[in-house]
């Protein structure tokens, strides 16, 4: 590993959900560390798809999803995760 790169971690779909849906998990602490550049996070697109499925299936009001595709796309873009 090159000394100038921070340590890297790879998130599964389950770990991504834990990171984004709770602030008390180890995964959320890693997400915060990535925001500050202390670690580098990686995740497969399938991990994002799993998170999308969960949000679109459960976060609803009167049967309609509370988040739009545009909002979820903006969330993905601002996350400190390298999508592989």
Backbone φ and ψ of 49, nearest 5°: -60, -40
Facing residues of 41 across strands? 9, 81
In a domain, residue 55? The reply is: yes
* 64 against 5, higher pLDDT: 64
Token pair in block for residue 64: 């309609």
Rounded percentage of the chain residues whose pLDDT exceeds 90: 94
In a domain, residue 32? The reply is: yes
Q: Is 15 helix (H, G, I), strand (E, B) or coil?
A: helix
In a domain, residue 21? The reply is: yes
Domain of 24, in residue numbers: 8-83
In a domain, residue 3? The reply is: no
Q: How do residues 24-37 score in pLDDT, each as one tens digit?
A: 999 999 999 999 99
Model pTM? Answer: 0.87
In a domain, residue 26? The reply is: yes
In a domain, residue 67? The reply is: yes
Pairing of strands 40-43, 8-11: parallel
Report the domain count for the chain: 1
In a domain, residue 37? The reply is: yes
């Amino acid at each position: 590993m090159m000394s100038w790169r921070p340590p890297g971690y790879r998130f599964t779909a389950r770990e991504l959900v834990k990171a984004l849906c709770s602030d008390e998990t180890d995964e959320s602490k890693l997400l915060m560390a990535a925001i500050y550049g202390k670690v580098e996070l990686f995740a497969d697109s399938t991990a994002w798809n799993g998170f999308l499925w969960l949000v679109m299936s459960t976060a609803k009001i009167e049967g309609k999803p509370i988040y739009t595709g545009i909002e979820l796309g903006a969330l993905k873009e601002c996350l400190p995760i390298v999508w592989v």
